[in-house]
Structure 1
Amino acid sequence: MKLKTGLLTFGFVAMLSSCAAVNYSYEGKAFKSAFSSIKSEDLKKNLYVIAADNMEGRDTGSPGQKRAADYIINYYKNLNIGHPTEMTSYLQTVPADYMNKKSRGETFNDSANILAFIKGSEKPEEIIVVSAHYDHVGTKNGVVYNGADDDGSGTVGVMEIAEAFNKAAKEGHGPKRSVLFLHVTGEEHGLFGSAYYSDNPIFPLANTVADLNIDMIGRDDAENRGQDYVYVIGSEMLSKELKTINETANAQTNQLKLNYKYDDPKDPQRLYYRSDHYNFAKKGIPVAFFFDGIHEDYHKPTDDPEKINYVLLAKRAQLVFATAWELANRKERIVVDKK
């Protein structure tokens, strides 16, 4: 009798454990709830602040960029998303001396990267990075270059992705691996912020699984006008699994057209080398760079928030989230199989 009771008890406990297990698949409630929280209206609300005239084009180390940083940090504080405990604040100072040594004759004031962080529940030492640069080119001859697409769109995309992961965590479905939401400075002048982070990482680069970098995802270019698409660059340069994961995430969600036109280190535009993911790739970390193309307002004062396609921006941000979700929750970390 005791043996039977013990077996029944064991079976009941096992059943409870099974019921309590979180379904992290794309069909599960945990994913669907978080995925659907990335909304075009929220992206628009934040982008109209980030790309407002009073941000003065967010040039590296400028007062306008610091105002943008304050807004981003307060966003995370209001969500109770903290910074890495290894830091005393959300800011990683990027010293002027560091940037001046790398610059093309320009001089800079100190600036900072912004780091928000959600700790993993099972493999917290393994880190997924979701990155975007929050600087732009500033003001020229009294005209503000708002940089709504470049890279206000990526900036607010990272913020919404963080909110989605945070929503899942509050509902008991937090990521198994840790996720670092990294807003870098100085991209427009030479990828300074991401270079500084990769030279002075808060977490060991050996534990960094992948970087998903978002740089311009709010517009379309002439070649793809009116289409639901996104350029993806570098996703199989270092790991075949990363490309497969991204394509699966896309197929099971918004089914965007994934365009690989620029997915070649030898492409004349050299886009693989031109955004912040490259400083991770140089260190052997798999990367995927999400991009909308070079449109008519690129690096012009007409890159304004009213020209953003917010529905498409949300779909692209959701794709990055879905890819990060799988990277954070799959059983094994992806393998680096190329050099």
Structure 2
Amino acid sequence: MKKYLALLSLGVMFYACQPSSETSNSESSATPEISEASLQKHVETLASDDFQGRKPFTEGETKTVNYLVDQFKAYGLEPGNGDSYTQDVPMVELTASPSEVMTVEGNGQTVELKVLDEFVAYTEKVVESTSIDASELVFAGYGVVAPEYDWNDYEGLDVKGKTVVVLVNDPGFASGDSTFFKGETMTYYGRWTYKYEEAARQGAAGCLIIHETVPAGYGWSVVRNSWSGASLYLDQSGGAYQPEILGWITRNAAIKIFEASNVDMKNFAARSRSRDFKAVSLGMNASVSVTNKIKRDQSKNVVAKITGSENPDEYIIYSAHWDHLGIGPEIEGDSIYNGAHDNASGTATLLGIAEAMVKMDKPKRSVVFLAVTAEEQGLLGSKHYGENPIYPPAQTVANINMDGITTFGPMKDLTVVGYGQSELEDIAEEIAKKQGRYIIPDPDPGKGYFFRSDHFQFAKVGIPALYASGSYEHMTEGVSYIDSLNKIYLTSQYHRPQDEISDSWVYDGMALDGALMMEVGLNVANSANWPKWKEGSEFKAIRESE
């Protein structure tokens, strides 16, 4: 472990003393090391049972926010929101209780689906109860309207008052054609959030997404755990139209419905990727109800900053989400979803960078440290920030996001999620080389990780964003070692109480990644240049319109 830190220290100090490759006025003093001991302390504290899984609106939130504020104060960082270290995020908590059975009738047959085992259902409407009653089911393929790809699954279709059944991911997935949408790389059209947004725009009464593990990127247990119990939403009174019922059904449940219908639904996924696909009524009607317990409250983003010495009104924002799932269904005798990897690790790295950077000479541009709430509920804290920015997006140079930083040891790779999006990855690649590392694209682009963490909300308002970490090849143990550990995490720990600290965890890899991210921020903060979105990025036009 120590030999990697020695190499790290030399590499980082060498890089920090070099001028930027893009500008000659980038200067930095030798960089203090990110403390492994501090990283470990932060993870152990944030992921402890005492913090109750860090869910917003709980005692766990109060303890987490107080801890983060206290750390920023102790380091000597300034308040990031005027004279406050927090930003209020008004939210509503809806505890949905769906009916035990979803009934689907038609073609002389009845299909009954069991809640949690075969479907989940909820509503984003702030109402005590709602339902769909004998709502006509329409299979709408991937549920995508994408003019730039000349694709419209809703063309000529009126789904007002009806319930659409759609596939997860987008038509490019498993098509074998890298030019069709983005091939195996998921676009935003593949995300479940988009499916519901489009169904709402079309005026549907309900939207049911067919879950499949490979195109979704996670198993049914994740769906079941994430949409049972209380869920949080931004409290936006008088907001846009919402369907009455939103939900997921298993693939087997979908097949039951298709087999009961009078429509030939063989090879439904492959047929939905054809440009000849036309949405079709299944001749079946669905009924399900949801009752809600409603609670309104304020959650908190935590924000601190270092004011720039020369360009204080230009900003680099580091982000990480502090929240997890709280206390939930018991699994293997444990009900506290500690979220040690997701995302005590990223929050600890944010704190580690802040602690190290504040000891340096002030950067030329301002650097902001933003720990956001409610990522697990749909990127809500970062969404609220994007819609109510403390620092104008047009003056925000870059976002560097940390979500799930390795505790398996030092990595030879730096895996960039959303590779090819912005010039930030080029800066990161140069720094990685100085650490003796290489850069690779996300090996699983079809899982849509670029749209599943908080950097996406910065990208949506045009801010170039970097989301990267070592996650593919261990420095000494290789690829297969990390692959086996990642599989264990995804199948038995992710979004489960088993995401907790292990005696096998080490923190030198976290320090290595933290040092790299710190150097990316320092490069941008001390440069006169503005990193740009690359050609082909869907966010380039947003930035250029500012």
Q: How is 1:1-339 mapped onto 2 (pairs within 5 angstroms)?
A: 26-27=16-17, 30-34=28-32, 36=33, 38-84=34-80, 86-97=81-92, 99-100=234-235, 109-141=297-329, 143-168=335-360, 173-219=361-407, 227-234=411-418, 236-237=420-421, 239=422, 241-252=423-434, 254-262=435-443, 267-291=445-469, 292=471, 295-296=489-490, 297-306=493-502, 307-338=504-535, 339=540
More strand by percentage: 2
Structure 1 residues 47 and 25, CA gap change in structure 2 (3 angstroms):
same
Unpaired segments ≥5 residues, structure 2: 1-12, 19-26, 93-232, 247-291, 472-485, 541-546
Amino acid at match of 1:192: L
Which one has the largest radius of gyration?
A: 2
Q: Deviations over 1:152-200 (max 9, x none)?
A: 00101001111111010xxxx2111000100000000100000000000
Relative to the length of structure 1, the TM-score reads: 0.81
Q: Distance in 1 between matches of 2:16 and 2:294?
A: 47
Q: Distance in 2 between matches of 1:154 and 1:313?
A: 9
Q: Distance in 2 between matches of 1:334 and 1:310?
A: 30
Relative to the length of structure 2, the TM-score reads: 0.51
Q: Distance in 2 between matches of 1:50 and 1:25?
A: 32
**Contact preservation (8 Å) 1:149, 1:308:** no
**Contact preservation (8 Å) 2:420, 2:534:** no
Q: Higher mean Cα deviation, 98-107 or 127-136?
A: 98-107
Coordinate RMSD, CA, aligned: 2.6
Q: Distance in 2 between matches of 1:284 and 1:305?
A: 36
Q: Distance in 1 between matches of 2:89 and 2:498?
A: 29
Q: Distance in 1 between matches of 2:299 and 2:521?
A: 28
**Contact preservation (8 Å) 1:95, 1:111:** yes
SS of aligned partner of 1:167: coil
More helix by percentage: 1
Structure 1 residues 232 and 285, CA gap change in structure 2 (3 angstroms):
same
Q: Distance in 2 between matches of 1:192 and 1:181?
A: 17
**Contact preservation (8 Å) 1:216, 1:290:** no
**Contact preservation (8 Å) 2:411, 2:509:** no
SS of aligned partner of 1:157: helix
Identity of aligned residues (%): 33
The Cα of 1:311 is off from its aligned counterpart by 1.1
Q: Distance in 2 between matches of 1:288 and 1:326?
A: 14
**Contact preservation (8 Å) 1:236, 1:242:** no
**Contact preservation (8 Å) 2:419, 2:441:** no
**Contact preservation (8 Å) 2:299, 2:373:** yes
Amino acid at match of 1:27: C
Q: Distance in 2 between matches of 1:218 and 1:107?
A: 37
Unpaired segments ≥5 residues, structure 1: 1-22
**Contact preservation (8 Å) 1:24, 1:329:** no
